Amino acid sequence: MKNIYNFERTEKKYLLSLTQFKSFIDKAGKHIEEDDFKEVTVHNIYFDNDIDLLIRHSISEPNFKEKLRVRGYNDLNQVYFEIKKKFDKVVYKRRVSITFDEIDNEYTFNHKHGQIENEIEYFIKKYNVVPKYYIGYKRMAYKDTGQCNLRITFDKDIVYRMNDLDLRSGFYGKHLLEDNQVIMEIKTNEAMPLWLVDVLNKLSIYPTSYSKVGNIYKKEFMKNKGVELWT
């Protein structure tokens, strides 16, 4: 039976130095523990059309945005097709687990559909999107020992490419971040616990609207136009 997932939560991102990352883990101490996935390699294929409509809209920081991606972990035994929407700072995800036998080389379905597959096909037709970017990274994940719906992830060694857009081709590409940078993401559907607010304040860690695919677009297509890469 196919697994279907729905998520609704807030997600805040932070661009950290390695020093800040190590200090955060140290000060968080007993409040966090590794979650069930611990350390994983994440592989993504992001979709857009020939005029990069979705990413150009996203980096304009609108109140509503949406994107489509295929995501796999480690050896790709788990692969998901996912629509991610963000409205008024709240993230909504709808995704379905798939196998490579169920999609063709352009990541379109070749089998009978369920509801989420229909939504994905509608998205593809609405925006006329195709695979555009591979993004991979190493992720460390933690959870709050006292608040089961709080999750904190740390992404490093982010690589990307705009050709060979097959998840099975492996983890390789251009590097996006400096060697000493880490992206932290705090995910919850409740208010942050006081201990977390205190740690962030003590370490002077502040949220940013950083987007991996957004910064790839800026780096590759807007670097000669005087556009600031970090937003």
All domains of the chain, ordered by start, with CATH? 4-221 (3.20.100.30)
User: 67 with 47: CB under 8 angstroms?
Assistant: yes
- Please report, to the nearest 10 degrees, the dihedral formed by the alpha carbons of residues 194, 91, 173, 48 taken in order: -160
Q: 2 or 140, which is more confident?
A: 140
How large is the average pLDDT for residues 87-101? 90
pTM of the model: 0.91
Q: Is the pLDDT of residue 228 over 50?
A: no
92 vs 79: CA distance, rounded Å: 19
% of residues, the chain, pLDDT over 90: 73
Q: Is the pLDDT of residue 105 over 80?
A: no
Q: Give the HSE-up count for residue 19: Cα atoms under 13 Å, Cβ half-sphere.
A: 2
pLDDT of residue 106: 74
Q: Is the pLDDT of residue 222 over 50?
A: yes
Band (75; pLDDT cuts 50, 70, 90):
confident
Q: 7 or 87, which is more confident?
A: 87
How large is the average pLDDT for residues 79-106? 89
pLDDT of residue 227: 46
Q: 23 or 7, which is more confident?
A: 23
Query: What are the pLDDT digits (tens) for 14-70?
Result: 999 999 999 999 999 999 999 987 899 999 999 999 999 999 999 998 999 999 999
